[in-house]
Chains A and B, each alone.
Chain A
Amino acid sequence: MTTMRQRFYEVLREALDEDERVAAVTAQIGTDAIGEHPRHFDVGIREQLMIGVAAGLAAEGYRPVAHSYTPFLVERPYEMLKLDLGHNDLGAVLVSIGASYDAAREGRTHQAPEDVALVAALPGWTIHVPGHVDELDVLLRQALAADGRIYLRLTEETNHARVDGGGFTVLRRGSPGAALVLAVGPTLTPVLEATVDRDVTVAYLATVRPFPHDNLRDALADGTDVAVVEPYLAGTSSSEVAVALRDRPHRLLALGVPNAEFRRYGNGAEHRAAHGLDAPGIAHSLDGFLS
């Protein structure tokens, strides 16, 4: 099966050939896969420059795509995201790979579960966390055709099937007053497995910013209990749930990657299980929350 990363390179190469607005800026990661093109600029291992160059290209009317592993795309040049793009009101598409723990064997230096919280702390960003390669395809093409600041978080994890639309989608309705379980991106398959015998409403979300406050409120209906399962830092969207339910008594279970130095290597599946984000882990957390 084609990975999100492979599909990203395919779509980007196609866009470079077909859309004169599109430009790619890389810092050694993905350089060969994208290949040579007059509007593909590899700046070497210089990630601050990568974002600055992207801003400069945007100022000249181009639609720049900057790409690297999550820590080097978001964390190292964070002030460039804030100022070169945000404060200067310039658009770009930032596409990361590695997600929270895809690069588990590489250790902490290549893991950035805090990325979505960081980008979400800056105003005006749209954040996509696709859970399937076909979702990535659609969201990427939309991003390339748009003008704003968009962060696309790719991962090696995948759901069994795509969910169309990217927006808030209710996949299963519980009885009136049932709890709402919101699965973000690649957490959907384990969430569905963990809730198969539960009376809960299950919803899916790939575009986490702007957060769909009204959709969440409507889906919860008369219920009071919300569980949000995110594949990155636990609690990243808790404040958004609080805004959505600001005038309603509610309880919230926020599952995700703990905010801790997790000194383990191994593989992504082991990290997912260790963080309680596989189906048994999610089921165990829901048992405690809903009992």
Chain B
Amino acid sequence: MHMAITTTRGYDDLPALLARLTGDGKHDRSAFSTLDVLWVLYDRVLGEDDRFVLSKGHGPAAYYAVLAAKGLIPAALLDGFGNFESPLGHHPDRALLPGVEFSSGSLGHGLAVAAGRALTGRRVFCLLGDAELEEGSNWEAVQYAGRAGLASLTAIVIDNDSSSHGWPEGVERRFMLEGWVARRVDGRDHEQLAAALAPDPGGTRPRVVVAEVEPR
């Protein structure tokens, strides 16, 4: 992340922060499917030199709540979620909100940008959804990152079984065929997530962590 964490709110503070967000965007199930992955990333994984790309820009309530919990955005901003004067939209905009590293919302963009950053050796984490992977642009990035051996790139796929036509035998098989190291974990289990996302200095291939949560 490109800003330093400044507060020490805990996971238990997230419900209160989420409660400050109102409007339709908050109730999108995708807003909460990411909550634990985001918390573990910002609480235990991301260092100041690391970068995070939220490709799955839909339903960013959990993202904003975690950023507020870590002091990367003022918590007071949560009250204006989606309002005309607010920098917190239903899809995040990095130009409006320092703390957001990538403006997203249209699916299938983040992994390519994350790959570009990783080509420089930067450690980059990119969060996607299992339905988002229906966009063909993702697979251009998956194929290339595997061939190029982008070991500093980690993709996290939230799997809430929301893909329109499913991923027979698991979405991670597609990544593995392209040369990625794949691991499926419980997307609500902080220890499993932290272990899967821990630095792997000896790694030579990109990683994908499929974080399975309750079906939508």
Contact = CB atoms under 8 A, between A and B. Distances in A.
A and B bind: yes
Contacts of B140: 43, 46, 48-49
Q: How large is the interface on A (under 10, 10 to 19, 20 to 34, 35 or more residues)?
A: 20 to 34
A51 B110 CA distance: 11
A105 B81 CA distance: 54
A182 to B, nearest CB: 35
Interface string B111-132: 1111111111010000000000
Interface stretch (B101-109, B164-172, B185-193): B101-109
Interface of B: 51, 93-95, 102-103, 106, 108-109, 111-120, 122, 136-137, 140-141, 143-144, 147-148
A49 B122 contact: no
Nearest to A85: B113
A57 B112 contact: no
B106 A52 contact: no
A55 interface: yes
Given A44-B144, A52-B141, A89-B95, A83 B106 contact: yes
Nearest to B94: A88
A283 interface: no
Interface in A57-85: 57-60, 62, 64, 79-80, 83-84
| Secondary structure call for the B interface | helix
A202 to B, nearest CB: 42
A59 B106 contact: no
B109 A59 contact: no
A54 B108 CA distance: 15
Nearest to A62: B120
A57 B117 contact: yes
Contact of B103 (A58, A62, A88): A88
A56 interface: yes
Contacts of A64: 116
Contacts of B148: 41
A88 B137 contact: no
Given A52-B113, A56-B114, A43 B95 contact: no
Nearest to B135: A48
Given A43-B140, A52-B141, A84 B109 contact: yes
Nearest to A60: B120
| Secondary structure call for the A interface | helix
A39 to B, nearest CB: 9
Given A83-B106, A88-B102, A55 B144 contact: no
A55 B143 contact: no
Interface string A82-108: 011001110000000000000000000
A53 interface: yes
B119 A53 contact: yes
A49 B106 contact: no
Most buried by B among A53, A84, A88: A53
Contact of A52 (B93, B112, B122): B112
Given A43-B140, A79-B106, A48 B116 contact: no
A56 B116 contact: yes
Contacts of A55: 112-113, 116
Contacts of A53: 112-113, 115-116, 119, 144
A54 B117 CA distance: 9
A52 B102 contact: no
- Closest 5 pairs between A and B when the two form their complex, measured CB to CB: A56-B116, A52-B112, A53-B116, A46-B140, A49-B140
A52 B116 CA distance: 7
Most buried by A among B93, B136, B144: B144
Given A46-B144, A48-B140, A52-B141, A84 B122 contact: no
Contacts of B93: 87
Interface string A253-273: 000000000000000000000
B120 A57 contact: yes
A49 B118 CA distance: 13
A44 B140 CA distance: 9
Nearest to B51: A59
27 contacts: A25-B116, A41-B148, A44-B147, A46-B144, A48-B108, A48-B112, A48-B140, A49-B140, A49-B144, A51-B112, A52-B113, A52-B137, A53-B115, A53-B144, A55-B113, A56-B115, A56-B119, A57-B119, A59-B113, A60-B120, A62-B120, A79-B106, A79-B109, A80-B109, A80-B112, A83-B109, A84-B112
